[in-house]
């Protein structure tokens, strides 16, 4: 089982591709790049959660027309 840091690093490298070929010369800039990667990862996870919940909510709200009573159906069929 991988740790959370390993999962985060692999996601940042493979999916987001921020740390694929970083061109960083100083420690200060590498800290900034790491923070940007962390923020991007958090945004990606938050937005994917929102999209997943929105899709589930939309599926649960499928509109179903109310049942029509038999007396009204008979009147409609007579016309």
CB 6 within 8 Å of CB 31: no
Radius of gyration over alpha carbons of the chain, in Å?
Answer: 26
d(CA 79, CA 20): 71
pLDDT tens by residue, 7-28? 887 777 777 777 677 777 788 8
Q: What are phi and psi of 78, to 5 degrees?
A: -70, -25
Strands, E assignment, 32-74: none
Domain definitions of the chain by residue range = 4-64
pLDDT tens by residue, 63-73? 677 888 888 88
Judged by phi (left if over 0) then psi (alpha if -120 to 50, else beta), residue 3 lies in: beta
């Amino acid at each position: 089982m991988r740790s959370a840091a390993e999962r985060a690093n692999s996601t940042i490298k493979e999916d987001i591709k921020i740390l694929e070929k970083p061109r960083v010369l100083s420690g200060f800039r590498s800290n900034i790049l790491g923070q940007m990667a962390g923020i991007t990862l958090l945004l990606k996870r938050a937005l994917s959660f929102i999209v997943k919940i929105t899709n589930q909510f939309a599926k649960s709200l499928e509109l179903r027309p109310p049942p029509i009573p038999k007396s009204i159906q008979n009147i409609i069929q007579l016309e």
